[in-house]
Amino acid sequence: MLGSLLMLNLACVLPAAANAQDTFTSRPVRFVVPYPAGGAADQITRLVAHETSTALGAPIVIENKAGAAGMIAAESVLRAEPDGATFFVGANAPIVINQAIYQKMPYDPVRDFVPVAGMGKAPLLLVTRKDLGAPDLKTLIAKAEKMPAGFTMGSASSGNITHLAGEYAARKMGFKVTHVPFTGSAPAITSMMGGNVDIMFDALPSCMQQARGARIVPLTILDSQRFPQLPDVPTAAELGYPGLEAAAWFGLMARTGTPTAAIERMNRAVNDALKKPELVEKLRNIGAQPMPGTQQQFAAFIDGERKLWMPLAKSLGVRAD
């Protein structure tokens, strides 16, 4: 009799658990991108999300919420239920740099977010508008010597890596810049092509096609090696600036309190996607590199970024408010 009751109870519990799991795996998942469509964050996220959706067995919806250096998007994720259905596409600014340049933030990146999985990163490329008359870095620096006010420098937003690394690189190279922030890399590059700003240190996916199409002029890449799709563009080290490297990076973050099972499952799905040769090739074709790894490895990477860029932002005196 007792055995029959146990079997009956088990029969009732198992379908319920299975249904819960089916709902969890099949419902749509949101990836909230803190920048407009067309930029590096958007391109990398969409490529990774497409393959991750297959590995996850669930549809993934991309939402672009630009503004306030990624903080609008971050806040929207923190207002969502921590149930594993909403993830924030974390990046240099909203997860690391903002803490150093804003006096007040509507969230604490360390307290309020949990690293889930890296997706991709892209080195920065120094580019200029065509009519600036600087076909190479040497000419740009020589031109700067005759311009006490320096160049106007576009960026994806205040505090973005394209802003902070640009300020740092310009100082190392010996010229001044006047920062002009935009709401993303795509509008910044468009404005530069229209002659509204002089230069930009932009992530490769946002500017590589324009550079290859000779619509803007690429001068140097801030990476340890040349990028295969731009083989004629030298590294900063080759031009006499060793160690001058910077990259935009993007990875999934979850609101604190999100179930561990959901975080682990998403990490597995992203890593399964990043193992696919076709995705790796697509990322490289737009100027990005995959960032596979465990949740702990991604967390350690972010910690390293904080130790590097936060003191640098303060030493440069970069403020956004």
pLDDT per position as a tens digit, 125-177 = 999 999 999 999 999 999 999 988 899 999 988 888 999 999 999 999 999 99
DSSP state of 174: T
- In the prediction, which pLDDT does 23 show? 39
**Structure tokens belonging to residue 7:** 């079997």
Dist. CA 19–CA 32, nearest whole Å: 27
Q: Reply yes or no on whether the pLDDT at 7 is more than 60.
A: no
Strand, coil or helix: what is 36? coil
- In the prediction, which pLDDT does 321 show? 65
DSSP string for residues in 229-275: TSTTSPBTTTTT-TT---EEEEEEEEETT--HHHHHHHHHHHHHHHT
Q: Reply yes or no on whether the pLDDT at 4 is more than 90.
A: no
Question: pTM for this one?
Answer: 0.87
Q: Reply yes or no on whether the pLDDT at 268 is more than 60.
A: yes
Cβ contacts of 22 within 8 Å, gap of 6 or more: none
- Closest C-alpha among 234, 246, 244, 247 to residue 138: 234
Question: What's the pLDDT band for 301 if we cut at 50, 70, 90?
Answer: very high
Instruction: Dump pLDDT digits (tens) for 201-250.
Output: 999 999 999 999 999 999 999 999 999 999 999 999 999 999 999 999 99
The identity of residue 318, as a single letter, is V
295-316 and 161-173 are packed helices; what angle lies between their axes, rounded to 10 degrees? Answer: 50
Reported as type and span, the H/E element at residue 211 is helix 204-212
Instruction: Dump pLDDT digits (tens) for 39-94.
Output: 899 999 999 999 999 999 999 999 999 988 899 999 999 999 999 999 999 999 99
Indicate the average pLDDT of the chain.
90
